[in-house]
Structure 1
Amino acid sequence: MSKMYNVTREVASKSLNISTRTIDRYIKSWKLSYKKIANKVLLAKEEVISLKEEFATLHQELNTEIINQSSTTGTSLANKGDMDTAIDQKIDKFFLIFKEKEKILEEKNKVIFVLQQRVSELENKIQHMIALPDYNKEKQEAIIEKQKLEEKIGQLKGMIKNEKLKNLIFIWLSLVFIIVAGFFILQG
């Protein structure tokens, strides 16, 4: 008989009162089979129901054990052997549940540790960063100062050209004056 895969992870997690992450762990450990259809993970309804019944019996056994411990102080020795095996089975189940919860806690602690590292890295970056308005203000001031310096450089270049032109004119006038004076001296 083929299994009907028609229960999503979310529906299964709600019916079992566990997280989807725990459902993923059950899938990974082959406690639940699945089919992936159109990027959706679907679980077998029968397996989800049997897992739900198993959880219910675990909780029921825990409640009956607590009640039985308080009411049966004079049990016979014949029942003691059965009780020992039942207790061993329950201890094994609780040990498995404990291990699973321990793994979940370890994974969550790892995630918390990674997130704390990331937060501290981001805090360090923020401390060493310049605030954006300050950066924009400094950048604007630098651009204005650069423009002023370029204007001064342009003015100085213009003044140098004017001075060169004046010097050239004076040199030409001096040469013309010397030539005219030399001409008058030679004639006179």
Structure 2
Amino acid sequence: MYKYTRQEVANRLSISTRSVDRYIKAGKLRAKKEGKVVYVKGSDVENILSGSSVKQEVIMPNAPVEENMIQKKSETSSGGGLDMIYKDLRSEIAKKDEIIQNLSINLGRYEEVAKNSVSLIEFKKSQFLLDESRGYLNKEIEDLKTSNDKLTGDLKYEKTSNLLLIVFVIALLIISGTVWFMQI
């Protein structure tokens, strides 16, 4: 029964969805598409999870029947030496299949990282714009410091001139007061 989605199969087998697509294309998993959702046959997922090559079904359309009969005859007639070779080859195939699965998982992860990363050109462009804005801000800061210094100098000048005017007015008041008292 087709009961698992691609994402569920990927999570269950600890592989990427792209690897699930590869398994479907290679014929290791049977799939059925309903609309935009792809469903995978549950027994195929269980066979891959169990890792037993006896349970695995190779899905081939129009598979030749003669090949199976020849294979059965050769298996029955082979001796102990061929069984050893067969076991060695199976273990090598299992190791290489595990390596392929790990590489496929890593490939899926790297594809996600590459998809979510920023390109070098965009990074350089943003860095250039940032440096340009820093230069503009530094220029504005210098302009503000210069105008601040100028305003500070003007303020000191105004304070001293106001102080002199106050002293002058007080002196005039004292002189006018003394002149007025002398006339009385």
TM-score normalized with structure 1 length: 0.49
TM-score normalized with structure 2 length: 0.50
Bigger proportion of residues as helix: 1
Q: Which protein, 1 or 2, shows the higher relative CO under an 8 Å CA cutoff with sep ≥ 6? A: 2
